[in-house]
Amino acid sequence: MTSSSVTAPLSSLTGVIERITFHSSESGYTVARLNTGNVKQLITIVGSFANIQAGQTLQLQGVWAEHPSYGSQFQVVKYKETKPATLTGIEKYLGSGLIKGVGPVTAHRIVKHFGLETLEIIEHQIDRLIEVPGIAKKRIAMIQRTWEEQKSIKEVMIFLSGHGVSTTYAVKIYKQYGDSAIATVTTNPYQLAIDIFGIGFLTADKIARNVGVAPDSQFRYKAGIIHVLDKASEDGHCYLPENKIIPMSRELLTVKGVPDSSGSNKRGQNEDETSTEIEEKTEHEADERAIVNILSEMVQLEELIRERDENEIIYYKPTFYYSEQHLAKLILQKIENSLDVDSDRVKSWINRYTASRKIQLSPQQYLAVLKAASEKLMILTGGPGTGKTFSVHTIFKLWKAMGRKIACAAPTGRAAKRLSEMTGLEAKTIHRLLEFDPGSMGFKRDLDNPLECSAIVIDESSMMDLFISHSLFKAIPKDCQVLLVGDIDQLPSVGAGNVLSDMIASEKITVVRLTQVFRQAAESAIIRTAHQINRGHYPQIEPISMKANSDCLWHSGGTEPEHGVQTVKELIEYYIPHAGFNPATDVQVLCPMTRGVVGTRNLNKVLQQLINPKSEGKDELVRGDSILRVGDRVMQLKNDYNKEVFNGDLGMVMKFDHIDKKVNINFDERDVVYDYADLNEITLAWATSIHKSQGSEYPVVILPLYTQHYVMLSRNLFYTGLTRAKKLALIIGSEKAVAIAVKQVKQQQRYTRLKERLEKAI
Ligand SMILES: Nc1ncnc2c1ncn2[C@@H]1O[C@H](COP(=O)(O)OP(=O)(O)OP(=O)(O)O)[C@@H](O)[C@H]1O
């Protein structure tokens, strides 16, 4: 638990965290106010804390320092959490969320009434709670129940908090493993990283070191290698070549830090820890030979799959390998033969249909409809306004005339909704189409129980990652025709793989490319600009002004990110209402990055303050340095099959139940209930990343582009962000950043072998 390299003798302090002034979840850097007994003289403490919450009683060691602006501060070098001993501690502990029926107000009343005896009374004479104003018998029964449950987790909690694990995670660990929690944590702490959302390798590693697992243990090396592959899959990779996995594992497994008496070290402080001023010394230099040996052992045990591609040795996690291999096989089976269809009859149907509707298909569209009649698998791709929807509509009519039973789906709820609106047919998310079964954590529709349809269209198919593509192809009946529609110039899927691009690049599958932009569409500056970007031209965008009537406008928001924040604020406050839009419902800010001043994290705070500020009667929940308020727009960050909410889904906070510790969030007219402990699954979404916006459309998009976003700037990022806007796109930032984005074509390479498997039937 270190914060800086300090040579002065350490002083000690014990107190209760009264409030957290600042906490960076990135670096763990925290400024908090500590109550050591005198509430009028709170002490400012500064240091690095992985998890810190108001109400924790902490024993701290550190040094006193004088800050030039803020005065006397206690710089924490190490700390440990202790059981609450003070009245405030008991009150915060009771109201911390662990005991249902006790919120902060009730906790205050109980402690006011019973003082230091509170815990004793709850333990042995719980009926006496009736003496506390506002507590009825029913509530006492609820408190009693959860107190009993809580007793069994108390031991686990004390153990875990002694090892730096926060209450929230301790509850999750207990929920996951029950009475074997301590056994799991002591024998295989790395299991936590696999089973518990929010605990990563670094936290598990910290716990492991605390419970005495040696840094060179095989256990640790294996977990580290898996972590490297998991991280790579978050960047879209399905495997890693040997010349990457070895140095990456080596770096991860080398332990640097300033050991303290409790054996913990700086590395474990936070999943994202980056910078440090600490003088680090190497405690354990990871051994390359050991990594190579363990890789081989894992291959033998089939914990990893090793393959040799053209040039190098590559390593897969088995699920990725088998999914990629099987997906390729299913695709190849599908394209083995096309259907025997009389093309003259199809042509005459198209002619009759277009004549009766007084429409004319472009030659590319004509080809798409003709091929869709007989191809078992076809890809239809094109940019905005090139008539994909128009073509799909005609294909539907043709399929219907051919007697096909049609199914429609898209990777996200929003894309499915749009597809329904456009086609008039019921469209589902792919997850729903495949009927997810929470019991088996798998899909009910698969090879043995395929979908009941003879033609299927998937819109926004560029968003399909390896796993959902594999699940989908497993569930598609043998003779069913498949039409994948998508815009190949958009960003690839958030999840691992580059499925649509790989399928196209293999040249094994029929692809129809629509390139002509239709007149109605070409009237939109959003669409014209998108095509300019796609061609690599610096886009001609009209500067913003009150008189402008283009749907795509440019605001030079200065070169500094701070100007960007100011510009976003001004647009939301003045321009957007003036242009006839509602900032609370119509606008989405899309950022290239999460971090930084014009990143989603910071902008969300700014926008929340602006669009949904604190107000009388609007309930809220303060968690660390973030606030969640009724009316906030939020985004789900992982697939939660039980709640049926998926990565990227947008919702709105409806109400809090501070007694039962639950919050209702509305997703697409459906209320979903979250335990407070699960709130790390969601984040504020007034601003979201462009990556997460794929498949969604918004009336108004504000797109800040700054050179600070350099690492992320690319043509397809800019293009994807811009084309999310349906009525108005406001691009702000520096011209240099726009130029960099337009020039940067190199899509970050994704390590996938679907293309090769399709080409060579590997
Ligand atoms: N053959 C056609 N004849 C006349 N109008 C057409 C034709 N094809 C498309 N359009 C019109 O062009 C516009 C864009 O077409 P459409 O919406 O199908 O494109 P899209 O590729 O689906 O675009 P996006 O990806 O932005 O949804 C629409 O107004 C559509 O009615």
Q: Do the beta carbons of residue 606 and residue 737 sit within 8 Å? A: no
Q: Do the beta carbons of residue 657 and residue 561 sit within 8 Å? A: no
Is the CB of residue 393 below 6 angstroms from any atom belonging to ligand 1? no
| DSSP H or E stretch at residue 416 | helix 413-423
Report d(CA 129, CA 384) in Å as an integer. 65
DSSP state of 640: B
Ligand 1: atom nearest CA of 527 is 26
| DSSP H or E stretch at residue 635 | strand 633-636
SS (H, E, C) 117-160: HHHHHHHHCHHHHHHCCCCCHHHHHHHHHHHHHHHHHHHHHHHH
Is the CB of residue 269 below 6 angstroms from any atom belonging to ligand 1? no
Residue of 369, 389, 414 to test ligand 1 pocket, by largest number of atoms within 8 Å of CB: 389
At residue 155, the pLDDT reads 62
- Identify the burial level of 183 via C-beta atoms within 10 angstroms of its C-beta, where 0-12 means exposed, 13-18 middle and 19 or more buried: exposed
Nearest in space to 286 (alpha carbons), one of 210, 215, 219: 215
Helices (H) and strands (E) in the chain, counts: 27, 31
Report d(CA 479, CA 477) in Å as an integer. 6
Is the CB of residue 385 below 6 angstroms from any atom belonging to ligand 1? yes
Residue of 380, 421, 463, 518 to test ligand 1 pocket, by largest number of atoms within 8 Å of CB: 518
Ligand 1: atom nearest CA of 382 is 21
Q: What is the Å distance from ligand 1's center to 391 Cα? A: 8
Nearest in space to 83 (alpha carbons), one of 108, 67, 59: 59
SS (H, E, C) 182-214: HHHHHHCCCHHHHHCCCCCHHHHHHHHHHCCCC
At residue 161, the pLDDT reads 62
> How far are the Cα atoms of 108, 174, 321, 624 from residue 663, in angstroms, in the given order?
22, 21, 39, 17
Is the CB of residue 520 below 6 angstroms from any atom belonging to ligand 1? yes
Q: What is the Å distance from ligand 1's center to 354 Cα? A: 15
Ligand 1: atom nearest CA of 359 is 3
Q: How far is CA 291 from the centre of its chain?
A: 30
Q: What is the Å distance from ligand 1's center to 388 Cα? A: 6
Q: What is the Å distance from ligand 1's center to 702 Cα? A: 24
Is the CB of residue 382 below 6 angstroms from any atom belonging to ligand 1? yes
Quick: pLDDT tens for 574-623. Answer: 999 999 999 999 999 999 998 889 899 999 999 999 999 999 889 999 87
At residue 546, the pLDDT reads 83
Ligand 1: atom nearest CA of 520 is 29
Is the CB of residue 661 below 6 angstroms from any atom belonging to ligand 1? no
Provide DSSP, 542-600: EEP-TT---SEEEEE--SSHHHHHHHHHHIIIIIHHHTT--TTTTEEEEES-SSSTTSH
Q: What is the Å distance from ligand 1's center to 683 Cα? A: 35
Nearest in space to 237 (alpha carbons), one of 18, 442, 493, 453: 493
What is the dotted CATH code of the domain comprising 214-256+283-316?
1.10.10.2220
Q: What is the Å distance from ligand 1's center to 521 Cα? A: 7
At residue 510, the pLDDT reads 95
Ligand 1: atom nearest CA of 521 is 13
3-class secondary structure, 70:
coil
What is the dotted CATH code of the domain comprising 537-612+686-744?
3.40.50.300
Give the chain's residues under pLDDT 50: 1-7, 85, 258-279
Q: Which residues are annotated as a binding site for ATP?
A: 385-389
For CATH 3.40.50.300, the residue range(s) in the chain are 326-512, 537-612+686-744
Q: What is the Å distance from ligand 1's center to 386 Cα? A: 6
Is the CB of residue 383 below 6 angstroms from any atom belonging to ligand 1? no
Is the CATH code 1.10.10.410 the one for domain 615-685? no
Ligand 1: atom nearest CA of 391 is 18
| DSSP H or E stretch at residue 19 | strand 11-23
For CATH 1.10.10.2220, the residue range(s) in the chain are 214-256+283-316
What is the dotted CATH code of the domain comprising 11-81?
2.40.50.140
Is the model's pTM score more than 0.80?
A: no
Q: In the beta sheet, which residues pair with residue 314?
A: 241, 307
Is the CATH code 3.30.420.80 the one for domain 326-512? no
CA gyration radius, the chain: 29
Q: What is the Å distance from ligand 1's center to 117 Cα? A: 73
Q: What is the Å distance from ligand 1's center to 407 Cα? A: 22
At residue 269, the pLDDT reads 37
Is the CB of residue 359 below 6 angstroms from any atom belonging to ligand 1? yes
Q: Do the beta carbons of residue 734 and residue 567 sit within 8 Å? A: no
Q: For 186, phi and psi rounded to 5 degrees?
A: -80, -30
Quick: pLDDT tens for 350-365. Answer: 999 999 999 999 999 9
Which tokens belong to 193?
């990283």
Angle at 509 between CA 507 and CA 512, to 5 degrees: 95
Q: What is the Å distance from ligand 1's center to 488 Cα? A: 17
Report d(CA 123, CA 419) in Å as an integer. 57
Angle at 154 between CA 152 and CA 155, to 5 degrees: 90
60: how many CB neighbours lie within 10 A of its CB? 23
For CATH 2.30.30.940, the residue range(s) in the chain are 615-685
Is the CB of residue 708 below 6 angstroms from any atom belonging to ligand 1? no
Nearest in space to 623 (alpha carbons), one of 685, 687, 682, 686: 682
At residue 153, the pLDDT reads 64
Residue of 361, 362, 390, 462 to test ligand 1 pocket, by largest number of atoms within 8 Å of CB: 390
Which tokens belong to 723?
């084309």
